[in-house]
Structure 1
Amino acid sequence: MPLNNERPTSTSSGEDQGSDVDSSSERHDSVTSTSDGEFSRASFTSDSSSKHCTPSSSPPKILTLDEVMTAAQDIISLKFAHELIMNRNILREPVNLPQNSLWKIVKDTVHKAYWDILESELKEDPPQYEHAIKLVEEIREILLSFLNPGANRMRTQIMEILDVDLIRQQADNNAVDIQGLASSIITTMGKLCAPCRDEELNKLQRGSDNIVMLFKEIFRVLDLMKMDAINSEIDFLRPMLQSMSVDCERSMFQRILDKTPTALRHTTSWIKASIEELLLASNSNMGQTSSQEKQQKVLPGPFQILNNAFLHILTWDLSKSPMPETLMTQELQLREIQSQLQQYQAINEVLLIVYSTVGGPIQGLASLSERLKRMASVLLDGMHSPHFNLEEALKGASEQICCELNKSLTERDYPALTPALQATLTGQICNITQRDNPIRTLVEDRVHQYFKMLLRDPKPQVKLEEVPAGLSAIKPELMSLGAKYVSLVKYNISTYGPFYSDIIRKLMFSDSPPAPTPPVDTAQDSVTSS
């Protein structure tokens, strides 16, 4: 990302989201820049001899319906390409429609009608083969679609075995061996299917006296073979896409931007809000500085702006504003991090209240702490769901925790919790639903400090274990989320750095012509500055 006056170097992506960005972490030191404090207009300029490479957008225009549909398809392609590159476990499976759904009812009705027609034709005297020939022709096209371009011999064999013109002539003379034709199809399928389908082929080869049922099963197995072919193609494409993942995703987004000039509207608002927040904080601090320092206006650096913007993503409210467009390919991962972080914070708040209320009798009992944590985790699972009753869940968790505490206390000859203390504990735990609850505020602030430290530090992997005081109960979970989040941020900045650079420059220096952007050749230049 051309956020500093630096020379980029080339790189390639790893195998998935974790490995790609983790390896990127080893090549680069930080999402932040050590020269952020010295940010100026020069931060967005480069040597005149440098290769110019900056994201561009067209002036606003009215889009036709076809252009809107094309742009929507480009967005779908971008999301799929990102998932294909980052998720090594992505596999296509045959679509199973929900029972009693309208689509399933329509599909089953149409298919049943077709197979009924085929069965009635074959039962006529003499048999009619019009629908059967159409099925054979469709099967032939499916089998041919499995072949590589150079498989001429197999192509010739399929064309000879499933010669539709010859089959029509045989049908006209009532000489079609439909059972033998099905057997030849199954044999050919056996030569093309993946080893994992051997059992399915064995079932087909055992055959059925009902030719309609046999053809139904043939098409079912062909559908499975289609999925196998798609998954094989995915496995083939992934290494090539991963080697150029950043450039691929960036160029796809640029095509979307070319067709939809307003495609960075939410991203611009997101970055603008970060800039305004930092400037407001800077102005507030100016009151504590000397008059000489006040004359030197300090602007926030580009990495400082982005780090601050990404911190807000952790608490982003999708009901009020959609995610920035540059995060749409990572939205599911980011939402998962949000929901997990929300749950871990609530668990930590509950445990802090328990230990501060009960005190000494339960201090230092690791097994008890783990049981209370597991109990709270189960009862608060899914708390990010819109229909989740958090207050009711916290009340239930309080009751379970009180029972567990009493059991532990009595086993060690301590008096059980009094009803008054249990009521106090339950009330304090249920009160964390309030935004101004001091325990909740404390935990959220320290979690914010933790993620801020990770984004700013040159070597965040080293800092993962430096969890702030009061968060030790969720330390393993925070470390895992922290590593995952930093990786997502680094990859995102690597990919969309030129767009962020252009937006920040225009927002910060809109009073002057935009300066040329330094060259962006690869992922490396986006993540860190030298």
Structure 2
Amino acid sequence: MPLNDERPTSTSSGEDQGSDAESSSERCNSMTMGSDPESSRESFTSDCSSTPSSSPPKTITLDEVMDTAKDLFNLSLSHEIIMNRSFHLEPRNLPQNSLWKAVRDNMHKAFWDILETELNDDPPEYGQAIRLLEEIREILLSFLNPGANRMRTQIMEVLDTDLIRQQADNDAVDIQGLASYIISTMGKMCAPVRDDEIKKLRESTDNIVTLFREIFRVLDLMKADFVNFTIENLRPLLQRHSVEYERAVFQSILDKTPSALDNTTSWIKLALEELLSATAPPTEQNNGHGKGQRPLPGPLQVLNVAFLHVLTWDYSKSPLPETLMTDENRLRDIQRQLQQCQAVNEVLSIVFSTIGGPIQGLPALSDRLKRMINVLLDGMHTPSFNLEESLEGVSAQICCELNKSLTERDYPALTPALQATLKGQICSITQKDNPIRTLVEDRVQQYFVALLSHPKPQDKLEQVPAGLLAIKPELVSMGSKFVSLVNYNKTVYGPFYVDIIRKLMFSDGPPAAGPPQDRAHNSVAPN
């Protein structure tokens, strides 16, 4: 009969990826991506043996599309297992009143009704029951290790459908005995956490149809347990070979789908153009670059700018680069948390700068205001969230909290005019050109720039810019997660990035920075 599907589940939103990808920072720093703009050409000439290749445009067959989909699934699954220690599978619980649940429940009910009708016939019919036993046999066999030959043979003998059909022809099927054997075998195979479920099956006084229905329910749980046990055993192996495996799978996808790096190329090109537009106009130089030439940014510098764009990515306008798709949920979570933290910091900055001395040096008050603002702004990333209305509510609550704190310490309460000013300033942070908002966002960008640019970002995590101390714990947590994701991503997809940047700079991009003889000397060639 149809069984419940299984779905991946995570009890944390990527909170463990930092520990799993910690070593990727050191590997990333050993990549051939010089951060010095003057050494950009030399950095492209190293490790060319790992440069990815792409196939010329061609017609893609249905088989290739299916193979690519399978590669994408394997890539996403292995990446999730590596990055998230809480990742596991569990039987799917379909939403109540959903069409899919209604269809599934009706199909299951029809199956069990047919089984009950056949078994209640005189003489009983066993066609549906034999198909049921055959499916149970295959599930039990799938739980066995390769060397469990004795139990495999026993299962095949007891649940021999040919023999059961012969018994059915002679009305000699011991269906209750077969159910008892199945439950006993399940008890030998199940995880200790399922012992109570097996005990209930053994003690069940339900009719045979209900008993088999419960057997299938417990088998669903055992299937999830078996898959999760396999995941735990595979995780150390995947961690040791994760970089090579993910890079090889992505190369396989690229071979079948040459356009698989189009979004990534546009993403890197945007960062490169931003750096070039920010470069000072060409001037007389005597630094080896020649007159009228400007140095090109190094590949690591280009990538750092590109990854900074991910923090403010507009998912409604364009998809993420293909090389970041496996981390999309984690990156979205970081972006949402960052947006909310920035809003909290902006509100607190306005409050303390507007009220001044009477509320300075009161950490307990600051913590209360911070928690209150966080609660009122929770979910601000959702489409239905009205930020202006929420900020009005925040303003009212803040004024109440401030008046309470001021009167407790014999200060005068806030005047209506000051409350109106405070409310107006807080609500104005919805405007993109608001100076407080701009200042906070710029300093947050400075923080992440410092983390991405430093060879040992862990040393920079606690060095939060002035004005952001109110959200320091959150910034440190987000910074650690983001840097781990970025460094692991650079390690896996570094050769692809280098190839794209090289083509943008020296093929279709701007003119090279060095004189002709330097360009010839630094041409890309295997070492």
Match of 2:205 among 208, 219, 230: 208
Report what 1:428 is aligned to: 425
Superposition pairs for residues 57-456 of structure 1, below 5 Å?
A: 57-282=54-279, 285-286=280-281, 295-456=292-453
In the TM superposition, residue 25 of structure 1 has moved relative to its aligned partner by 3.5
The answer to whether the 8 A contact 2:344-2:373 is kept is yes
The answer to whether the 8 A contact 2:40-2:299 is kept is no
Structure 1, residues 471-505: CA drift from partner, whole Å, max 9, x if none?
11111111111111111110000000000000010
The answer to whether the 8 A contact 1:30-1:455 is kept is no
Q: 1:16 to 1:238 in 2, by over 3 A?
A: farther
In 2, Cα distance between equivalents of 1:422 and 1:33? 53
In the TM superposition, residue 324 of structure 1 has moved relative to its aligned partner by 0.7
In 1, Cα distance between equivalents of 2:32 and 2:364? 40
Report what 1:468 is aligned to: 465
The answer to whether the 8 A contact 2:25-2:488 is kept is no
The one-letter amino acid paired with 1:483 is: S
What is the root-mean-square deviation of aligned Cα atoms in Å? 2.1
The answer to whether the 8 A contact 2:354-2:422 is kept is yes
The answer to whether the 8 A contact 1:31-1:456 is kept is no
Tell me, what secondary structure is at the counterpart of 1:257? helix
Q: 1:315 to 1:493 in 2, by over 3 A?
A: same
In the TM superposition, residue 292 of structure 1 has moved relative to its aligned partner by 5.2
**Relative to structure 2, which stretch is displaced further, 231-240 or 341-350?**
231-240
In 2, Cα distance between equivalents of 1:441 and 1:31? 34
Report what 1:22 is aligned to: 22
The answer to whether the 8 A contact 2:94-2:101 is kept is yes
Structure 1, residues 334-357: CA drift from partner, whole Å, max 9, x if none?
111111000000000000000011
In 1, Cα distance between equivalents of 2:263 and 2:356? 48
Tell me, what secondary structure is at the counterpart of 1:39? helix
Q: 1:483 to 1:270 in 2, by over 3 A?
A: same
In 1, Cα distance between equivalents of 2:27 and 2:58? 42
Superposition pairs for residues 501-516 of structure 1, below 5 Å?
A: 501-510=498-507, 515-516=523-524
Report what 1:522 is aligned to: none
In 2, Cα distance between equivalents of 1:226 and 1:517? 51
Q: 1:32 to 1:45 in 2, by over 3 A?
A: closer
TM-score, normalising length: structure 1: 0.90
Report what 1:491 is aligned to: 488
Q: 1:429 to 1:124 in 2, by over 3 A?
A: same
In 2, Cα distance between equivalents of 1:122 and 1:27? 64
In the TM superposition, residue 164 of structure 1 has moved relative to its aligned partner by 1.9
Between 1 and 2, higher relative CO (CA 8 Å, sep ≥ 6) is seen in 1
In 1, Cα distance between equivalents of 2:60 and 2:284? 54
Q: 1:32 to 1:44 in 2, by over 3 A?
A: closer
1:36 matches 2:33: no
The one-letter amino acid paired with 1:67 is: E
Q: 1:242 to 1:195 in 2, by over 3 A?
A: same
Q: 1:34 to 1:499 in 2, by over 3 A?
A: closer
Q: 1:32 to 1:150 in 2, by over 3 A?
A: closer
In 2, Cα distance between equivalents of 1:201 and 1:303? 57
In 2, Cα distance between equivalents of 1:179 and 1:462? 67
In the TM superposition, residue 23 of structure 1 has moved relative to its aligned partner by 2.9
The one-letter amino acid paired with 1:352 is: S
Q: 1:55 to 1:422 in 2, by over 3 A?
A: same
In 1, Cα distance between equivalents of 2:373 and 2:30? 35
Structure 1, residues 353-380: CA drift from partner, whole Å, max 9, x if none?
0001111100000000000000000111
In the TM superposition, residue 160 of structure 1 has moved relative to its aligned partner by 2.1
In 2, Cα distance between equivalents of 1:248 and 1:89? 21
Q: 1:489 to 1:35 in 2, by over 3 A?
A: closer
In 2, Cα distance between equivalents of 1:167 and 1:79? 43
In the TM superposition, residue 28 of structure 1 has moved relative to its aligned partner by 6.6
Tell me, what secondary structure is at the counterpart of 1:492? helix
Report what 2:515 is aligned to: none
The answer to whether the 8 A contact 2:440-2:468 is kept is yes
In 2, Cα distance between equivalents of 1:271 and 1:507? 9
Structure 1, unaligned stretches of length 5 or more? 1-14, 520-530
Q: 1:148 to 1:485 in 2, by over 3 A?
A: same
In the TM superposition, residue 31 of structure 1 has moved relative to its aligned partner by 8.6
The answer to whether the 8 A contact 1:31-1:458 is kept is no
The answer to whether the 8 A contact 1:353-1:425 is kept is yes
The one-letter amino acid paired with 2:281 is: M
Tell me, what secondary structure is at the counterpart of 2:260? coil
TM-score, normalising length: structure 2: 0.91
Question: Percent identity, aligned pairs only?
Answer: 71
In 2, Cα distance between equivalents of 1:232 and 1:188? 19
